[in-house]
Amino acid sequence: MVYPELEKAKHSFFRMNQETILDIVRRNSDTEYGRKYHFSEVQTLADYDRLVPVCKYSDLQEYMDRIMSGEKDILFTGNLYAFAETSGSTQKRKHIPESEEAMKQYGNIVDRFPAAFARDHQGKRFFLSFLQSDLSLPHQETDSSVFSSIYYRYLADHGLMDLTTWVGEGPLNFFPEPCDYLYAKLWLAFASEDIITMETIFLYDYLLFFHYMESHFREVLKDMEQGRPSEQVDLPESVREALSRLPVSKARLDHIREVCADGFKGIVPRLWPNVQMIGGIVSNAFKVEELSFQRYIGKDPIPLWAYIYAASECLSAVPYNFDSYDYIFYPNMGGYEFRSVSDQKIYPPEELRIGEMYELILTSHAGLYRYSMGDILRIVGFYGQLPIFRFLFRKNLVLNIAGEKLDIETLDRAVRHWSEEQGVRIWQYFFYEDRSVVPSRYSGILAPDTGQSVPGTPPAGINDPSTGYGYHGMRGDEMLRYDAAALDRCLQRLSEDYRELRQLGSIDMPVIRYMEKDAFLRYKEELSLSTGQAKPQHIWRTETNENK
């Protein structure tokens, strides 16, 4: 069995979870944080609950900064492996320490199942996601990157991942710097007919990849025929050389051109007939991407593996089954408590109730103690004592197309800045993720606090040159693009992650339209957004409405 730990834990997880928490506390009792909260006095979970407060990232900011400056024994004992960069639930970038002990506990949990699957089916694995790390240079504990790059680098450095099973091996899966990685990935996929699995971190990446294929397959094939990537493509020289060395026959290139010319419906089995599994994080929030992605897979379903339930703070769970949104907690990765959404009390796993919603509270091997993750989960069952859950949404998260995690505060600040710059007072507004296009984008409906205004035309008064608003007689569609570009600048200024993803092309320019106040209220009513709450809702997301 790929995960024998699950079989061992299904009758003892409740005890194991308690032991994991108490062991982490004992090992770190002589840290500064441990002394502050009297870890040496913790003998039971009741002691832990009494002595150690639930915390969030802002409570630990000072400790994180000191660890980054090189101080030891602040939050955890032992060695630091690297820092994971994440935006979390605010616009400010977070730095989460990844300890050697945490990485050791994670082991090859993510890679184990796909690797075993590929060995069983005798084929190569295609990994789509961008991993930034230079394997030619030794790892440093001061390294800082997204968690996926750190984790896969750890696997590679510790012999826990066989890169020879991946097409492109190391040079075309770990990139030393940001670049046009979709170009490199498409070249790599075209050159590899015997792909058995297609794997990525987020399912959304597939939409970007196949959209890129539809738009650029001719240029990539032309460069492949010439044997070297175009100099106009932004690639590190090491990647350029590695692509140039990939063998590919003229017959293969002719076949690709012919297949693409016939359209992209069912392109996966037509170009890669041996594919037996698709991997990528899925949830109710990614249902649209999954349905869109089916167009490329064809009529015969290829099993979908939900990859992992994880965050920079911890790897916590693995998929329960193929073609399922459900995950099962993995023992010893960390210690878990659960804050009920209904009564805000904190419960151990043995007191969870099927059907209820909970926020995950984490105790990690890397210095997080009773850490409020912000993830809202619904318990859907148990495998023995192991909770099975479905991720619903991230608390306070507003918009998240490609990992930017734009929260309500940042969005509201952007709208206010935009309102001041454009001279348009906004009465109410909401945004949603428009996933009908690739790349996806933010779409906003705004009700100005002025006179009459209708969709596609300026609010009353703003075309008056005396106002200085800068429209100067623009047509309605021009004005909307002008306003959307201004909002885009505000969002990029306030959110580093949004800016980087816009520059990578993972998120498209936002679109906006105006509505009169009455029309806005009627529209909200149609979308079931009028909930009677005291404050306005600034996001519409179908899965949020279903699970509120």
Q: Residue 227 phi/psi, 5° resolution?
A: 85, 5
**What does the block give as tokens for 234?**
């932004």
Q: What is the three-state SS of 309-340?
A: EEECCEEEEEECCCCCCEEEECCCCCEEEEEE
Local structure of residue 346 (DSSP, 8 states)? E
> Degrees (nearest 5) of the Cα angle 128, 129, 131?
130
In this structure, the chain runs to a length of 548
CA distance 548 to 532: 14
> Under the phi-then-psi rule, with left for phi > 0, alpha for psi from -120 to 50, and beta for the rest, what region is 473?
left
**What does the block give as tokens for 275?**
């594919």
pTM to 2 decimals? 0.75
Task: Return the axis-axis angle of helices 181-190 and 204-226, rounded to nearest 10°.
Answer: 70
Assess contact for 29 and 40: CB atoms under 8 A. yes
Q: Which residues of 250-267 are buried (b: 16+ CB within 10 A; e: fewer)?
A: eebbeebeeebeeebebb
One pLDDT digit (tens) per residue for the chain, 548 residues = 578 889 999 999 999 999 999 999 999 999 999 999 999 999 999 999 999 999 998 899 999 999 988 999 999 999 999 988 875 433 456 788 999 999 999 999 999 999 888 888 888 999 999 898 888 777 777 777 888 899 999 999 999 988 889 999 888 999 998 899 999 999 999 999 999 999 998 887 887 788 889 889 999 999 999 999 999 999 999 999 999 999 999 999 999 999 999 999 899 999 999 999 999 887 765 554 566 677 888 878 889 999 999 888 999 999 999 988 899 999 999 999 999 989 999 999 999 999 999 999 999 999 999 999 988 899 999 999 999 999 877 776 668 888 887 877 788 889 888 988 888 888 778 898 998 899 999 999 888 875 433 334 444 434 333 333 333 334 467 778 888 999 999 999 999 889 989 998 899 999 998 888 778 777 777 776 554 434 457 777 544 333 32
Strand order in the sheet with 371-383: 309-311, 314-319, 326-329, 386-394, 371-383, 357-363, 335-340, 346-347
CA distance 503 to 153: 25
State the distance between the two ends of the chain, measured CA to CA, in whole angstroms.
38
CA distance 134 to 178: 11
At residue 35, the pLDDT reads: 97
Residue 8 neighbours by CB under 8 Å, 6+ apart: 331
Residue carrying structure tokens 């969870």: 352
CA distance 91 to 499: 11
* CA of residue 452 relative to chain centroid, distance: 41
CA distance 432 to 540: 5
Assess contact for 162 and 109: CB atoms under 8 A. no
At residue 545, the pLDDT reads: 33
At residue 514, the pLDDT reads: 87
At residue 547, the pLDDT reads: 32
At residue 461, the pLDDT reads: 39
* Residue 30: Cβ within 10 Å count: 12
CA distance 180 to 117: 30
Question: Exposed, middle or buried by CB within 10 Å (0-12, 13-18, 19+), for 517?
Answer: middle
At residue 464, the pLDDT reads: 38
Element of type H or E holding 46: helix 45-51
At residue 531, the pLDDT reads: 44
* Residue 525: Cβ within 10 Å count: 10
Residue carrying structure tokens 């885009």: 488
Strand order in the sheet with 124-127: 124-127, 195-202, 277-281, 304-305
CA distance 9 to 12: 5
Q: Residue 146 phi/psi, 5° resolution?
A: -70, 155
Element of type H or E holding 85: strand 80-86
At residue 332, the pLDDT reads: 93
Q: Residue 316 phi/psi, 5° resolution?
A: -115, -30
* Residue 24: Cβ within 10 Å count: 23
At residue 450, the pLDDT reads: 56
Residue 15 neighbours by CB under 8 Å, 6+ apart: none
Strand order in the sheet with 511-514: 426-434, 441-448, 511-514
